[in-house]
Structure 1
């Protein structure tokens, strides 16, 4: 054994004990973890908060004229819950809450009519209300509202004549006010995030095609090809995100007074997303095939250089489409050549037997990619 070495039986040194300060820091971090889980990744827009507050105040004032004996809590709560990120969601939430209150009041009335007023009646009404919501397939918001309304009617309204009817009217008025305020005061739109997501996906697809052209036309190492495959696989999550933002944008346009100015943009983005769906599938397949079957002799094939050139042209034309349909998107790199590169027929030659399956699959995928992109280019012109 050399000096400074260790024998196989030597035990490793014990872990260093934490100092008092270190233990306190660890405890503080552990304590903060549950707190952070209750925090959203982004703040709610201040305008949304102000609209919610305005709806609650207006609902409180309006409903106070209906029943002066009771504070209009139901109306204020309905207005607060109804103000949502889109007018369509506000309308849906208003209907759900109104139905929940009405059904809850009916359940409370029927339960009291059948069982009288024993001490366990409220608990029975809660259970029955939840089962009614489940049986009628109500959404969670309405299902929860039913037992709450029934419980309040039985506990508070039992001694107050007309309490149930007043609460129904109060809830409906608060819901209507919430929808109206959200519709009137700068109704939110989610078109721009969808616009940017579609444009970003298109530019990333073009970058993958340029990377494939580099693999087929010049020497690259395995690390470059593996990284290219990883980036190509990330196109799927980007595609899913873009589709989700399109659905959110479409939802924000329903019942929105500003929808006419943005409907054409969203329609174009949806059509472009359909085209990108096909292109993403083909480009991902091409990247996977090249990564799985690549060898150094592939670049010597007569058609490889032509395929690489067609990939570069397709990437150029796809960027051209993105530039035309998303001129307001941020970080868009303007093309030096604003004209479509189009394509030229590839002269088919017999490849080496070890490459003919890969070459054939690349040609077929490239044909589909070219058709989709050129169709979009023709629509722009």
Structure 2
């Protein structure tokens, strides 16, 4: 019985993974996005390795030709600047590992164990030096290859350095000249995804508030709103990649990059929007949690609150769509006007709240007002 359950779980897992792979492949061939970027960079890395091997293993007949494609693959990075920086770090640490290991072999008269004792502890420790970044481990790896190969002549050392240099040049050149990554689209995509997620959450809250058990799902709304604020880090990461992607990158002249990313002020604005949504969800969660002791406003007040949240969701949904036509802007403006109309109705209803429920209602009126003010289109 337990074995059948495990097989069923494994089959479901394999089905989900296969479905995810199919979606990724379809996206890579059908539309621009992260999947296509990954496909392009993977093919570029493979091409760089083939070119590096052709130069060193096939044409130069180098004794350790694998160093060239190994280096070339590692240098087809996410940005041209990163390729150059990583290439410098990698060549420096590989050159140091090669020279040090060759010197150790010469001193120990090609005794493998003695050369390892002289080389690996030092190179492993040096690999943690922050200036080498994530490439530090390659010093010890290269030294190990050199020692096990067992030759310390000057010509052999020169060949290893040349192979590494050829691989670095090939990897950097391929990454810089063949569809160089620019990452301008990522910021727009992340902001639109954030707007889309905000719209979905606001719409879910709006529909939930109209149900009889309106606040039973308030805890899940609060958790989802917390994840919204965490997703802002994805926007910050995309902004970092867009900035770094433009450094020393000929992509602006060699390929179409599309419009520039939205200004940084949009990141700040959406950060405030997510904070306001979280505040509304936190208050609703406090009402739904009996242990908090917060009084519940009248059902009529919650219905009118749902109208405000529904119109705010439509504003976010329109902002999640590419601004390709004036009707989209007109729909956003109409939803924004309806949101303010619904908010005025909510504020009027607040006047009818009594006792401690009025304090909770006032907090929700203030938080939704601030939310609509943050959703106002930039001047």
* TM superposition score normalised by structure 2: 0.71
Equivalent residue number for residue 209 of structure 1: 202
Equivalent residue number for residue 266 of structure 1: 261
1:203 positional shift: 2.6
Residues in 1 aligned to 2:79 and 2:21: alpha-carbon distance in whole angstroms: 19
Residues in 1 aligned to 2:2 and 2:355: alpha-carbon distance in whole angstroms: 65
Equivalent residue number for residue 277 of structure 2: 283
Q: Is the 8 A contact 1:157 1:163 kept in 2?
A: no
1:231 positional shift: 4.0
Equivalent residue number for residue 104 of structure 1: 97
**Superposed, which structure 2 residues align to 1:1-381 within 5 Å?**
45-63=38-56, 68=61, 70=63, 72-112=65-105, 117-124=110-117, 125-135=119-129, 138-140=132-134, 142-156=135-149, 158=151, 160-213=153-206, 220-223=213-216, 225-259=218-252, 262=257, 264-268=259-263, 270-293=264-287, 297-299=297-299, 310-323=308-321, 326-327=322-323, 337-340=331-334, 341-342=336-337, 343=340, 346=347, 349=351, 351-374=353-376, 377-379=377-379
Q: Is the 8 A contact 2:187 2:242 kept in 1?
A: yes
Secondary structure of 1:378 counterpart: coil
Residues in 2 aligned to 1:26 and 1:209: alpha-carbon distance in whole angstroms: 40
**Which has more radius of gyration?**
1
Shift in CA distance, 83/362, structure 1 to aligned 2, threshold 3 Å: same
Residues in 1 aligned to 2:21 and 2:62: alpha-carbon distance in whole angstroms: 39
Which 10-residue stretch deviates more, 220-229 or 173-182? 220-229
Residues in 2 aligned to 1:17 and 1:207: alpha-carbon distance in whole angstroms: 39
- Contiguous gaps of at least 5 residues in structure 2: 26-34, 289-294
What do the CA deviations read for 1:288-320 (whole angstroms, capped 9, x no partner)? Answer: 21232256643456xx77755554444443334
* TM superposition score normalised by structure 1: 0.71
Residues in 1 aligned to 2:69 and 2:211: alpha-carbon distance in whole angstroms: 68
1:202 positional shift: 1.0
Q: Is the 8 A contact 2:102 2:151 kept in 1?
A: no
- Contiguous gaps of at least 5 residues in structure 1: 1-15
Shift in CA distance, 96/367, structure 1 to aligned 2, threshold 3 Å: same
Shift in CA distance, 327/121, structure 1 to aligned 2, threshold 3 Å: farther
Residues in 2 aligned to 1:214 and 1:155: alpha-carbon distance in whole angstroms: 68
Residues in 2 aligned to 1:71 and 1:159: alpha-carbon distance in whole angstroms: 13
1:130 positional shift: 0.5
CA RMSD across the alignment: 4.2
Secondary structure of 2:262 counterpart: helix
Equivalent residue number for residue 6 of structure 1: none
Shift in CA distance, 271/259, structure 1 to aligned 2, threshold 3 Å: farther
Shift in CA distance, 40/81, structure 1 to aligned 2, threshold 3 Å: farther
Q: Which has the higher helix share?
A: 2
